[in-house]
Amino acid sequence: MDTIHKTTSKDEKYLLTLKGLRTRNFSRNLPLLLLSDKLPEGQVYREYADGRIEIQEIFSVGSHYQHKVISILSAADADKVRRTYGLL
């Protein structure tokens, strides 16, 4: 039972941290970067304060990182991603 309690506590701390980062980024008009093992390598979700979630490819050019929009999720798919991360 102690292991379950530790896992839950760790998950709760992670979720609180993620929600805090999300709030901070949105208040600064910055997106939230979400990594997912369900996306191909080099792709990420990027959530914006207006509710839009994009799938983007991140790549390096020299010593700089750039990104390219692969797709913009529908509202229903964006909600699925938020549910997965506990953000809904």
Say which CATH number the domain at 31 has.
3.30.160
Tokens at 78, concatenated: 């964006």
* pLDDT above 80 (res 8): no
Check whether 2 has a pLDDT greater than 90. no
What is the structure's pLDDT at 7? Answer: 56
The whole-number pLDDT of residue 77 equals 97
Give the residue-averaged pLDDT of 43-55. Answer: 97
Over residues 15-29, the pLDDT tens digits come to 999 999 999 999 999
Predicted TM-score of the model (pTM): 0.82
What is the domain range of residue 43? 2-85
| CA dihedral (5, 23, 50, 33) positive or negative | negative
What is the domain count for the chain?
A: 1
